[in-house]
Amino acid sequence: MPAFAAYEHRITTPCKDSDPGRRGALGSRRRQPVIQLPTPPAPVLSGRALCPEGRRIVTITSDEVFRALEHELFAAHEGSPDLATIDRLYADDFLATNADGRIVDKQGWLDILKTGQFPVDTITTDDFKVRTYSSTAIITGRSAYHYSGQTLAEVRHTQVWANTNGRWQLVSWQGTSVSKES
């Protein structure tokens, strides 16, 4: 089976067909053929997909998958927290060592968010790096937390994601406070 991956383990992409009357591989007339790749049996982090006509190659890399997950994770914390998204993204056995030294599990973090103890309007990130090992991914980066026009904190972070039951979930977070000059 060819290697390919996507955020939901399925890629659906239109292929550009410059000749709408051209017959596809199955003999049908298609103006914009669509290929749906099957769900891989195990987590695969990168690869290529070729449309039946061979006209467009779609490449999904592990960087793209985990950038999307990180974006969704941070966006769920901005403004009024999206607790349902956070609950879905965090594994039940999630454990964090926060930049202030506190160790917090999933329920403890949800409680902090529910009570408004982590007010943040926006989170910005940079220095994104991902390393993947079978069904585990480690992301390192830098994040800044902003509220009411001020930067509350800047953190170097390490995220550990695990693919369990066919979906990626955050199992661990470690944050270290850094000065703005670092």
Q: Which two tokens stand for residue 147?
A: 């509220």
Residue 145's identity, in one-letter code, is: Y
The enclosing H or E element of 114 equals helix 106-114
- What pTM value is reported for the model? 0.68
- Reduced to 3 states (helix: H, G, I; strand: E, B; else coil), residue 138 is strand
Residue 32 is classified by DSSP as: S
Domains assigned to the chain = 1-60 (no CATH), 80-177 (3.10.450.50)
What would the pLDDT profile of 65-93 be if each residue is shown by its tens digit?
999 999 999 999 999 999 999 999 999 99
For residue 28, give Cα distances in angstroms to 20, 21, 22, 24, 55.
11, 10, 9, 6, 16
For residue 132, give Cα distances in angstroms to 77, 108, 127, 128, 175.
25, 28, 17, 13, 20
What would the pLDDT profile of 106-154 be if each residue is shown by its tens digit?
999 999 999 999 999 999 999 999 999 989 999 999 999 999 999 999 9
* Residue with token string 């480690």: 138
